[in-house]
Structure 1
Amino acid sequence: MTDMIHDNPTPWVADHIRRFEETGGRPRPGVADLLLTTRGRKSGLLRRTALAYVRDGDAYVLTASNAGAARHPAWYLNLLATPEVTLQVGAATFTATARPATAVESARLWPTVVAVMPSYAAYRTATTREIPLVLVTPVGPTD
């Protein structure tokens, strides 16, 4: 992905992306963070957002919570359309493939996700939609 990247315009997310870049990918205290770049399903533009994650083996587990909103976040809809994404974890940037977790994987992973980010439990009760978990697996080396 060599096109110009468009950062999430939400002010707190844009600030988080800027801080992530300024610190060379240093996460927030107590939170594992990464930058996810997807291809816009409508625009075709590269879209970047900052997200918390947990690990499951080689996969990075992302939560498409959208803070409990009634609709899925745009980044989730984008990766459904184009599952090839780019992740920046710390100083490493690499290509990865994203897919929604299966029902069995989600049931196993939700307790871990909530243990790391307790706000996700509240988001689940704030919406009637199923909040998807996404498994993002590196395509090649991650250094």
Structure 2
Amino acid sequence: SGRHIGKPYIDRLGKGQPLTVCNGVTGPEVVAGRYYTPADCKRLELPKYLAAEKAAKRLFTRWGSYNIWVRASIIDMIYNLGESTVAASTLRTQANAGQPFEVWCPQMQRFVYGTVAGKKTRLPGLVARREATAELCRDWGRDGHFSQQYLAKE
């Protein structure tokens, strides 16, 4: 979104309130008071997205059958939730069992809770993000959707 390019902020809703920049980047590479440019964010985010894609290919046995939109939604889930959370999910179990993506994509909408003041809390921002991710997976993944014309041009 570009909303968090610039100075790192404290993720007050995250576990441990980590210093965060760009699209959810945390860790030792995030330095308080430093300004992060779009190029800095790309440098920090790209390895994390590539790692999420690698994990997705390993975790989802039917990876090769998914179109770009379904793949993007799975990568987003792994990037944001972590490999272990997605690996243990009903979403993955249903996908690997061969259920149609219209069945398992809505599972993405279950991951909308964060910890606020020590309590598991449904967060509106996560609700909106997961609704968008599930829609991308469920609706843009089907044959006959208007997005298929763009995939055919690749």
TM-score by length of 1: 0.26
Higher-helix-fraction structure: 2
| Structure possessing the higher radius of gyration over alpha carbons | 2
Q: Which has the higher contact order (CA 8 A, sep 6+)?
A: 1
User: What's the TM-score, normalizing by structure 2?
Assistant: 0.25
